[in-house]
A and B are shown apart, each in its own frame.
Chain A
Amino acid sequence: MIFTIGRQVGSGGRIIGRLIAEKLNLAFYDRELLKRAARESGIKDEFFERSDERSSLWSRFTGFFMADHLLPADNCLSASSLFQFQSDTIRRAATEGNGAVFVGRCADYILRDLSPRLDVFVTADISERIKRTIDYYNVTAAEAEKKIYQMETARAEFYNFYTEKRWGAAESYHLCVDSTGLSMEAVADFIIDYARLTGRL
């Protein structure tokens, strides 16, 4: 069974994903994916981190200057090559063991042919997300709000550029959950229940 979790910044999606993995004894992939992609491709992880869930106009601009796909061999450091390595890693990881939970990195799209699979998107009220962001990054409220805006813009652009779906739009996922006012534990249980209810688990 595969779970993929998309999330607003500060919605608790990552923690929920980890809880699901623990409860069902599945592998959990978040930033670890980058390290693994680095190991498997032979390219240092700093390059994966630099382009992680980001796709600006500028990086596409850079993509050209690296003359991608027009050469006898691709330039492996271009954004699209790194995305390709990361996709290969996600596909490989998804078919190992008895399943896995993936957070972000377009996993829902990359694994679209794999079943049983549940694509979840986690949202929360902005006040709660700001609170969580303040704690996590140790910043002021104003900075947190700015950070949320910037990270979500980058995530959406990354997702919308590489996938054929829209980030955060209900039809891109099986289940959209608002975590406001609930414990992470409860949300994780709810998602697992939903998976059971729909016969995926």
Chain B
Amino acid sequence: MNNKDEQQREIGTAPLGPLLLKFCLPAIIAMTATSLYNLADSIFIGQGVGSLGLAGLTVCFPLMNLSAAFGTMVGIGAGSVIAIKLGQRELEVAEHTLGNVVLLNVIIGTLFAVVALLFLDPILRFFGASDAILPYGREYMTPLLYGNVLTHLYFGLNDTVRSSGYPRRAMMATLSAVCINVLFDYILIVRLGFGIRGAAVATLLAQSVGFIVVISHLSRSSSVIHFRRDIFRWRTKIARGIISIGCAPFFTNVCACLVVLLINRGLVDYGGDSYIAAYGIVNRVAFIFVMITNGINQGMQPISGYNYGAGNVERCVGVFKYAAVAGTVVMSVCFIVAEVFPRQTILWFTSDELLIDIAEHAMRISLLMAAFGGFHIVSIGFMMSLGQAMKATFLSLSRQLLFLVPLLLCLPPFFGADGVWFSMPIADAAADVAAVILVISQIRKLRDRKNVQLP
């Protein structure tokens, strides 16, 4: 309680720049770790297996998105429920929630894996795999699906560890998983020549280690919530609470899955296998910068939210400005990398001349508007922190559903693969215009209403 008061005083009065930095750093570290996790697989597969391997990995993205969608639904939902229950000193209910997380993860993880394994070939074909790519996709995805329950359990329980008051422990699990993944990618692919399957096994090994860190924390009776024999009983009320909160992140992830699916299909129809591999590279590079910006975004939200709530509009808008500038700087670096050093960047992933040329072309076009993306991402967080869920949802979905999907459906038939690449900067620009308009009108409204009470 005292700690919380202290924190609130700090949010309400400390200088904004250092305050933002303090709140952002942990989030940025967590986000960077997550993107490194994916990046490592791409780099080692690109170097060790080749462009078909990269393409195989890329056609698996939507399926992995979908699996993650189910995983985060349970994880984030349970995290919120546990925090609410701990706030009410309902230790018993919080622990039962933990038990139900395990049950839900096992049920959903198993069902997902069984269905995906049974229909793996048609699913991958639907996601854009050609005859040449399919074996690579299958080889990568099959071990991952066998370990799907483990993946879900690791992510789900990690969220519960974080929300039950141990964010550092959760971070440790994530970081150790990242290190193990990189290490075993190197050993299995480069040293032992296991190919793309090695990447999948390395991922599973990494998640097992993260899982062990999490499980050992949750097995300790000194942890605030921990495993007990009788908590693994199904409780419909708890499950309903978890899913009702988790359905929002689920929906966002499904949208991401849909977009990647359309991109892959456009590329396979109008380009070919190398185009899919090229998209895999561009996607991974952009992802790092987007995740860092997301970290800034997450660090900003408690500050802008509290100051808005306390009626301190200038501080609320002020921290948004800092975050928007920081986000734009990060995304400008992304832009410079894509436009000035595309070859050097792509060489990390591949040495295949054909692929390098395609990927360079793709990167130059599709990240043309990247610099403006920072403002868009931070605007979403700003709207969230003001409780403007409608506008936040609109902004986050507008880039994907409103602009990107129609463009991806319309442009490729006329412009081929270039149509796919050009869809992205056009959607970025349109979404950014929408963000600027919404944010400016929102800030104006905040300032107008500053001294006027709501009806």
Contacts and interface: CB of A to CB of B under 8 A. Distances in A.
Q: Do A and B come from one complex?
A: yes
Interface of A: 41-44, 46-47, 49, 57-58, 60-78, 80, 83-84, 87-88, 109-110, 113, 161-162, 164
Interface string B18-35: 000001001100000000
A65 B393 CA distance: 8
4 tightest A-B CB contacts, nearest first: A62-B389, A73-B302, A43-B309, A69-B83
A62 B387 contact: yes
Contacts of B23: 71-73
A60 B88 CA distance: 17
B247 A61 contact: yes
Interface string B83-114: 11001111001000000000000000000000
B251 to A, nearest CB: 9
Contacts of B50: none
B299 A77 contact: no
11 contacts: A61-B245, A61-B247, A64-B76, A66-B305, A70-B79, A71-B302, A76-B8, A76-B302, A77-B386, A83-B84, A84-B84
Nearest to A44: B311
A64 B393 CA distance: 11
Given A73-B302, A75-B305, A80 B12 contact: no
Interface stretch (B41-49, B159-167, B326-334): B159-167
B163 A69 contact: yes
A87 B88 CA distance: 8
Interface string B356-388: 000000000000000000000000000011110
A74 B80 CA distance: 11
A30 to B, nearest CB: 20
Contacts of A83: 84, 87
A162 B246 CA distance: 16
A68 B80 contact: yes
A88 B84 CA distance: 13
A188 to B, nearest CB: 30
B79 A74 contact: no
Contacts of B87: 80, 83-84, 87
B441 to A, nearest CB: 19
B27 A71 contact: yes
Contacts of A62: 387, 389
Given A58-B389, A71-B23, 5 more contacts: A44-B309, A61-B247, A67-B298, A72-B26, A161-B241
Contacts of B241: 161
Interface string B427-443: 00000000000000000
A65 B392 contact: yes
B303 to A, nearest CB: 8
A73 B79 contact: no
Contacts of B246: 64
Contacts of A109: 88
Given A64-B80, A66-B305, A77-B385, A71 B248 contact: no
Contacts of A61: 245, 247-248, 389
B350 interface: no
B28 to A, nearest CB: 11
B421 interface: no
Given A70-B79, A72-B299, A46 B167 contact: no
B26 A42 contact: no
B310 interface: yes
Contacts of B93: 164
Nearest to B308: A77
B249 interface: yes
